[in-house]
Each structure stands twice: as structure tokens, then as C-alpha cells.
Amino acid sequence: MSKPAGREPRRLTRWWRRWSLRTRMTVIAATAIAVSVFVSFQVASELMARELQDTAEDQLRADSRVLAMSAERGGLAQVELPPYPGSGRLVRVILPDGSTRTPAGQAALPTVSELAGRVAQGASADLMESGDSDEDGYIIYTLRVGDGAVQVARVADDSPINQFGFGMLLIGLLCVVGGALVGRTVARTGLAPIDRLTAAAVRVARTRDLDADIPDEGGGEIRRLVQAINDMLAALRDSRRAQRLLAEDAAHELKTPLTSLRLNVELLIRLDRRGTLHSALSAESRNRLLNDLGTQVAELSTLAAELTEVARGDLSDESTELLDLADVVVAAATRARSRVPDIEVALDVTSMWVSGRPAALQRAVLNLIDNAGKWSPADQPVQVRLRAEGASAVLEVDDAGPGIDAVDVPRVFDRFYRADSARGLPGSGLGLSIVQRVVHAHGGRATAGRSARGGALLRVDLPTTAPPAPIARPTAGEDTAVH
């Protein structure tokens, strides 16, 4: 059964990645040097071989001209051939009849080739034979003289190339070893900041001490990496601080309704065990106690829902879309009316297109209306207005209640903050905090002030965007009461 084609490369990749970065840098440096030495050896050997070949051929041409001059003076058959020195140059004379003459004691040369014979017959002036065409490793130069030719030859000697190659091999091995050592040293020096950074990160992970910033050292990529990690630690510190504050505030806010709920339930249990539930409490007292229990359970449910909303921390799970803010406001007002039947909402809205998350925006508007509904008298509606102001969509929600004290205005959007006058009213102190978070996530701002009716005026400014297409929509210029 054959293996899949891509499995082997993936296996090699995993094997390579298992090595440390320092080892990989060392191997890469040594390999680069080895390849460079090999390529340099090949190029240098080729150049040296060509240079030796050219030198040998030039020498053969010079020697053949000297021999040709002697042959022209004395004739090919009578020319005195130099004695064979035992090594180096070899000579031979090709006579007109095709026979040859060589010095006494000289080693036999290869048989005269067909091309050399044609030179002797006058087909060409000279001929250089060398390389692969010569099986015996000779370089033979043939020069025409009179009715024949003279030949001068040399044994092809590869020993200089071999010696050069051996020397280059030793140098290459030394360079590879030296390159590996240099690569190891450079890797150790270059990765030293990474090692210290890793040690610092491990120390932070082991001790859970997010306040210990990593020292900024080095430059370039190392500095940017250190700064990025320090920014991450700062974000984690802020997140941990926010979680701690949320837990502390939630525990504080849960304590009061839970204590009241526990006391009322314990009273009912104690009276029921004694059998005096109906005699000890009048019908009016029982109804009031049960209503209190229902109110406290509803308050706990609202608080749990709002805590979940705040603990999520962002709105990234809902996609952004182009929407008409007027539709969001109308939907929120309808929900507010269904949740609290006694609330009356007067709408004065204009079509305003924004880019946002519909569910989050509707929750923010609903919280604004719920907050105003707690304060507005029964005969006074909560007024909700949506209009354009420059490049912003302005949403205003006001009530006819007592308004917000000047000392409370800066903190009205703080998490769990409740004014002294609101301590006796239902609520968790998270509604307006959620409003501010949603508005900020959409690039807007939320402010609080006093309305013309003397109550609270909560205002939200959101950036508008162009509608998807021209839309014919009637403008609701008059107040519309939602009952």
C-alpha cells in the first residue's frame, strides 16, 4: 500500500520543527557555507582546468613550430628528433607515405588518427586533439609541414586539479566546522534576549504576578515583542482588576436582596412549622410579604441577567449591520410597555440609519426607558425623541421625575452606582452602565442632564451612515403614545 504523496514532506517538516531554533540556525549556517564552498570549488576547478588546458595547448603549438622549422630545413625524413627526456613532451613525424618517426626510447603514442592523417595530406593546417577523444590521456597537436606533418604531445596531467580539489575539501571542512561554530555563537547571542524574555514570561505564568513588566531591552523586533507582551500584561491586569471589582460589587449588591429574601422565607417557614401562619399574619400582611418575595425574586433575576450582560465584556458575538435606529427605538418602547404595563412612552422619532448591532442597541434603549419609567409619575409619559444633529443621530429620553442631583451626574453611568434617592427603588445600578458600554462600542457617547420638565434627560449620540437606498418613509412629526 503506497503512502500518500504529501505525508513524507509533512513528516520532514514536523521533524525539522522539533529542533530548537538555535540548532536550526546552526544547521542552516553550516549548510549555507558547505553549499558555498562546493559551488566555489566547482567553479574554481573548471576555471583552473581550462587555464591548464590553454597553457598546455599554447606550449604544444610553440614546440611544434620549433620542430616544424627544423623539418623544413632538413626534411621530414632527415630532421633530427630530440632525444626523449623520459617525461613531458613527446614528438612524432608523419612522413608523406603515412609512416612515422619517433625519437629512440620514446614511449609509443596512440595511432595516428584519421583527422591527423588528413592534416598530413593537406586537408587542414593543424589539429589539436585532447579530452575525451584521446583514450590514453594525451594532448596531441598536429602541424602540417611540407608533404607530411609533425606532432607534439603531452600526457594529460590531472594531478594539479586533484591536489587543488583535495585542498579545497580540507578548506571546505574547516569552513563548515567554523561556520557551525559561528552560527551557534551568533544564534546564542542573537537569541539571548528571547531566552530572557521566555524566562520572564515563564516567571509571570508561574507566579501569576501580572504587575511585573518585562524589562525592555534590545531593539527592532525584540523591542516590539517586549512592548507587545507588556501591553498584553497591562490588558490582563485591567481585565483582572475589572473582574475583581465586578465580583466585589456583585457580592455587595446581591447581599441586600438575598438577606431580605432569606429573612422573609425563614419567617414563613418558622410560622408554618408552628402552625400559626394564618393566625400570626393577617391576610393583608401575608399578601404584602408574598409581594415582597416576588419583588425580591424579580430583582435578583434582573440583577443576574445584567451581571451576565456585563460579564460578557464585549459585543463581538453579534454581527454589525445597517439598520434604522427608529425601528430599534420603537421595538424597545414596545418591549418596555409589555414588561411594565403602567409605563407610558411618547415617541417622536425620525428615520436615522446607523451601523450597529440591533440586539445590543435595543437593550440600551430599553434600559434608558426602564430607568426613566421608574422615576416618571403615573400621569406623565416618558418622552423619547430621535432626531438628526449634524452627522449624529441624537436619542433623548426624559422623564418628569425629581431629576438627577448635580453630585450624581458624573457617576450616573458607573457600574453599580445608585444615588441615595434611588436606594429604595428596584434596580441593580447596572442598566445605565450597560447603556454606556453599548454606546461606546458603537463609537458614540452617552450623557446625563436635566430635562425641561425638571426630570432626568439622558442623551445618546451615535454616528450616522448613509441609507442603503432611497427609502420613502413618512415622518412621525407628532407625538405617538404607546399604550
Three-state DSSP string of 232-287? HHHHHHHHHHHHHHHHHHHHHHHHHHHHHHHHHHHHHHHHHHHCCHHHHCCHHHHH
| Local structure of residue 435 (DSSP, 8 states) | H
The candidate with the shortest Cα–Cα distance to 363, out of 436, 254, 423, is 436
- C-alpha 203/C-alpha 345 separation (Å) is 58
pLDDT attached to residue 482: 44
* Residues facing 140 on adjacent strands: 129, 153
Q: Residue 302: is it exposed, middle or buried by C-beta count within 10 angstroms (0-12/13-18/19+)?
A: middle
Q: What is the pTM of this model?
A: 0.45
Say if CB 141 and CB 61 are below 8 A apart. Answer: yes
pLDDT digits (tens, 9 = 90+) for 394-432: 999 988 887 776 666 666 776 655 544 444 444 445 677
Q: Residue 85: is it exposed, middle or buried by C-beta count within 10 angstroms (0-12/13-18/19+)?
A: exposed
The CB-side HSE value for 219 (13 A sphere, CA atoms) comes to: 0
pLDDT attached to residue 395: 92
The candidate with the shortest Cα–Cα distance to 128, out of 143, 107, 145, 118, is 143
Residue type, 2: S
Say yes or no to pLDDT of 16 above 80: no
- C-alpha 425/C-alpha 226 separation (Å) is 50
What would the mean pLDDT of 137-163 be, rounded to a whole number? Answer: 81
Proportion of the chain above pLDDT 90, given as a percent: 5
Q: Among 42-51, 376-385, 400-409, whose mean pLDDT is lowest? A: 400-409
Query: What domains does the chain contain, in order, with CATH numbers?
Result: 211-313 (1.10.287), 321-482 (3.30.565.10)
How would you label 56-81 residue by residue, b for 16+ Cβ within 10 Å and e otherwise? beebbeebbeebbebbeeeebeebeb
The chain-wide mean pLDDT, for the chain, equals 76
Which cell numbers hold the place of 324? 434604522
What would the mean pLDDT of 95-121 be, rounded to a whole number? Answer: 83
Q: Give the residue with greater pLDDT, 362 vs 252.
A: 362
Which cell numbers hold the place of 177? 566546522
Say if CB 349 and CB 386 are below 8 A apart. Answer: yes
Say yes or no to pLDDT of 387 above 70: yes
Q: Helix, strand or coil for residue 427?
A: coil
Q: Give the residue with greater pLDDT, 302 vs 20.
A: 20
The band of 299, judged by pLDDT with boundaries at 50, 70 and 90, is low
User: What are the respective helix, strand and coil percentages of the chain, to the nearest 5?
Assistant: 55, 15, 30
Place of cell 551568533: 186
CB atoms within 10 A of CB 6: 8
